[in-house]
Amino acid sequence: MSKIKTIGVLTSGGDAPGMNAAIRAVTRSGIYNGFAIKGIYRGYDGLINDEVKTFTTEDVSGIINRGGTILRTARSMEFMTKEGMEKAYETCKKEKIDALVVIGGNGSLTGARNFANEFNFPVVGLPGTIDNDLYGTDATIGYDTTMNTIMECVDRIRDTANSHERIFFVEVMGRDAGFLAQNCAIASGAEAAIVPEETTDVDQLACFMQRGIRKSKKSCIVIVSESPKCGAMYYAERVKKEFPGFDVRVSILGHLQRGGSPSAYDRILASCLGAAAIEALMQGQRNVMMGYRNGDAVYVPFDECIRTDKPFDKRLITVLDELSI
């Protein structure tokens, strides 16, 4: 622990509302506890190319309310190679960075784990992803804000759906996880959600059409998790062919979901986890993600949070089914 004097912080992968709050917390908590803090721009690419700046408290002033990330972000293919990691390590030595805090999702934390193992380097991760798909934490930074953004969009879409008696398939992000789709369907009063976790042989669309569309309910909203094969467009085309009597529209929210000022919850979560990351390094922790469970910050080994699928509460499917009659 006595060897750690300078801590580098970077954001990697997809941006998420609250990343700036996390950067701010790492910077100010680190300085408060006697460390020098260096911001690394453009994720692992910036670490490879030595895009590094010493941060003061002023550098993170006025950013807690801003979406995106002031450090920028990138998905680095070069960092996946041994040569790329060696360049990044050389940057750490040149800049006298003794430990890293990496803010990102599954891919970013996989890179953090590999780098930590390859060079026996202290790394602590923060769960920064709108998908909420990392094992070991109740929520990820950006998830709450994104849910609120989706809910607001669906509320507006419903006005049009009701006016024209249409079925709207609204596609949301989530990668391979349905947490956004399922919870946003409940929050927005949608009639159904189609999620990857419902992997039974039952045709989700057929079940929905049979129970959810009645003569008295010709307009409805279906939230669909993004998928290259079975996204919102796929289900809309099926309805047009199999149920030609319905007027169908598709709305793909796309990157609209990522932007915007973070919610109070995401600001608090990011702030608490950012400060906890500094505390973790002070306690000699390494190769861990800071999770948030039952109101407490917890240490989750990288291998555990990366390799273990986050459990999906299928009771939420029942809740939506009962409330959408």
Give catalytic residues, as residue numbers.
131
Angle at 110 between CA 253 and CA 277, to 5 degrees: 90
Sorted by sequence, the CB contacts under 8 Å of residue 319 that are 6+ apart come out as 186
Measured distance CA(143)–CA(133) in Å, rounded: 10
Q: Catalogue the long-range contacts made by 273-276 (C-beta closer than 8 Å, 24 or more residues apart).
A: 273/22, 273/25, 273/126, 273/127, 273/141, 273/297, 274/21, 274/22, 274/23, 274/24, 274/25, 274/26, 274/29, 274/101, 274/126, 275/25, 275/26, 275/29
Task: DSSP letter for 189, please.
Answer: T
Question: Please, are residues 44 and 76 in contact by the beta-carbon 8 Å criterion?
Answer: yes
CB 68, CB 259: distance < 8 Å: yes
What amino acid is encoded at 323 in this protein? L
Query: Per the structure block, which two tokens stand in for 245?
Result: 């009597």
